[in-house]
Amino acid sequence: MNDRILRLRNAMREHGLDAVILKSVTAIRYFSGFTSEDASVVVTEDRSVLLTDFRYTIQAKAQSGDCCEIMEVAGAAHNEAIKKILADGNVRKMGFEEDYVSFAAYQVYESFGAELVPFAKQLHHLRIVKSQEEIDSLQKAQAIADAAFEELLKTIHPGMTERRVAAELEYICAKLGSEGPSFDTIVGSGPNGAMCHAVPGDRKLQEGDLVVLDYGCLYNGYHSDMTRTFAVGKVDPFAEEIYNIVREAQQRALDALKPGITGKELDAIARDYIKEKGYGECFGHSLGHGFGLLIHEAPSASVLGETVFEEGMTITVEPGIYIEDKFGVRIEDCCVVTKDGKLDLVRSTKELMHIN
């Protein structure tokens, strides 16, 4: 964690800041190793202090090592302790996470006496390129997800509800070592699959359905993300045609993913192919997003994605076609940009699987 604090201090100097206060659980975990949200981390030029209460001091010492001083403070004394740290460091300009801090918290920050500078974007940028240790955690999370998909296909059958499928999948993931779902599992069968973020319900899987399954696993706090669409029994030729269009669109984008391409350019590769096939209006979301300690983080692959991809960045590649009242198809892999291309973390087949 010490190298991350050093990079944070370099960013502070570049922006003329004397301190940064971290409050989101993501930023606290990334820069200190501490995994509870009941804390603050204050970083100045010569100090990094993690403030928490009695319930968490042992945990903080174990997780943060020597990268932070651990200061035990009761809830009522928390803000006064921060104010003293800032005063001792003669802090005049302080960065904060404007996309996380509530208005009430902002008013408290104002009472500290330092000029407040929004700094969330810079904090996100410090996390955008993943270390090998982070990539290892992402690979492990996805390996669990792949193994779970293989096991799930052996257990699901027509007549199961979407909700039951989601429950079975999350149980299998936990059994295989996932710390929890990366996000609310999506199961959309038949016409429900046309809803990009379908909530699993009581609809039963039926012969002829396409089923969209979008889920992820957590390992060491890092998220995986994958989508596979499978068939229940035999599906009609139109459904297979749409599936093959989506599969080809994804493969074209995957083949183009490498350092130097922008998110906008990557998005266009898949989007233009789907438009060429006549289904451009049926692909209304972005091609992909970064992932790490958050399931959605920078960079993005979208019509507005200006980030130039670099080695170590992450991105999902997930084109889809959604036919209202009929079905949806989405195929998603989560990838890491490498020196010469990309590392696709997903190993599950993209052949259209049929369950009976």
What domain count does the chain have?
A: 2
- Measured CA to CA in angstroms, residue 123 lies from 46, 73, 90, 99, 303 at distances of 19, 26, 22, 11, 24
Does this model's pTM top 0.75? My answer is yes
* Amino acid found at 205: L
Please indicate, yes or no, whether residues 93 and 166 belong to a single structural domain of this protein.
no
pLDDT of residue 76: 80
Question: Are 70 and 202 contained in the same domain?
Answer: no
Residue with tokens 């209202």: 324
Per-residue pLDDT band at 37 (split at 50, 70, 90): confident
Same domain, 91 and 207: no
User: What CATH number has the domain bearing residue 191?
Assistant: 3.90.230.10
Q: What is the DSSP string of 177-233?
A: T-SSBSSPPEEEEGGGGGSTTPPP-SPBP-TT-EEEEEE-BEETTEE--EEEEEEES
Residues 278 and 143 in one domain: yes
Range of 110's domain? Answer: 2-126
Q: Output the DSSP codes for 169-188.
A: HHHHHHHTT-SSBSSPPEEE
CA–CA gap between residue 112 and residue 95 (Å, rounded): 12
The single residue listed with the structure tokens 């038949």 is 190
Provide mean pLDDT across the span 8-32.
Answer: 97
Torsion, CA 306, CA 224, CA 102, CA 36, rounded to 10: -140
Rounded Cα–Cα distance for residues 141 and 130 (Å): 15
Tell me the average pLDDT of the chain.
97
pLDDT above 80: residue 1:
no
Domain boundary among 109, 126, 143: 126
Q: Of 107, 126, 145, which residue sits at a domain end?
A: 126
Question: Looking at the structure, do residues 113 and 139 belong to the same domain, yes or no?
Answer: no
Round the CA-based radius of gyration of the chain to a whole number and report it. Answer: 23
Mean predicted confidence (pLDDT) in 231-247: 97
Same domain? For 227 and 286 the reply is yes
Across 296-322, average pLDDT: 98
Inter-residue long-range contacts of 285-290, CB under 8 Å, 24+ positions, other chains counted? 285/196, 285/320, 287/253, 287/263, 287/317, 287/318, 287/319, 288/263, 288/315, 288/316, 288/317, 288/318, 288/332, 289/315, 289/316, 290/128, 290/314, 290/315, 290/316
Inter-residue contact 126 to 1 (CB < 8 Å): no
Structure tokens at 216: 């992820």
Dump pLDDT digits (tens) for 94-140.
Answer: 999 999 999 999 999 999 999 999 999 999 999 999 999 999 999 99
Question: pLDDT tens-digit profile of 253-278?
Answer: 999 999 999 999 999 999 999 999 99
CATH code where residue 76 lies: 3.40.350.10
Q: In terms of Cα–Cα distance, which of 19, 61, 22 is closest to 39?
A: 22
- Is there a single domain that holds both residue 152 and residue 113? no
Last residue of a domain, one of 88, 110, 126: 126
For 21, 224, 321, 338, the CA distances from 335, given in Å and listed in that order, are 31, 10, 21, 9
Instruction: Copy the structure tokens of residue 208.
Output: 């002829």
Are 155 and 98 part of one and the same domain? no
Assess whether pLDDT exceeds 80 at residue 211: yes
State whether 37 and 147 are in the same domain.
no
Same domain (yes/no): 14, 144:
no
Same domain, 168 and 114: no
pLDDT confidence tier of residue 65, bands split at 50, 70 and 90? confident
Q: Which of helix, strand or coil describes residue 310?
A: coil
- CA torsion sign, 131 to 31 to 183 to 146? positive
- Taking only the tens place, the pLDDT of each residue in 151-174 is 999 999 999 999 999 999 999 999
Amino acid identity, position 339: K
Q: Taking residues 32-42, report their average pLDDT.
A: 95
Rounded to whole angstroms, the Cα distance separating 81 from 39 reads: 12
Decide if pLDDT at 285 tops 80. yes
Q: DSSP state, 121?
A: H
Same domain, yes or no: 156 and 120: no
